[in-house]
Structure 1
């Protein structure tokens, strides 16, 4: 599954865009200094998200929307279309 696919799947499961989930994280006081386990516990308890989906959201919380060019283009299940992740929701593409 690509990085973007994890974010899209989290949106489908929660009904909230990645941007909305990250805004909610900010409202809770979570930021780049927050430990992953805290964020994962919240996402699991409130939204039933598993580790993979939670870690994708945590990555963006900690590092922003840029990802390595390593997985952009090419072939395979883990390839992304862009080195910039979309947070505005599936409907905006």
Structure 2
């Protein structure tokens, strides 16, 4: 779990938002975040996540890889832990 936490620390704010709020059934849905971030920033974030192996190009968009899903789970656990404090 330490490796996943370290990897989460390297994510930008937009990437964290994509993983926590912009996922539906393993698919990235960047339009859910269009009010908080510019579309170009979201695209750059997704491309960087693809280079890191967190997402891959699918037929109609981007899907989480197993590694991306593990980081998403780590982010969600961190958010729950922060709320309990």
TM class, shorter-length: 0.3 to 0.5
Return the TM-score normalized by structure 1. 0.32
Q: Which has the higher helix share?
A: 2
| Greater RCO (Cα-Cα under 8 Å, separation 6 or more) | 1
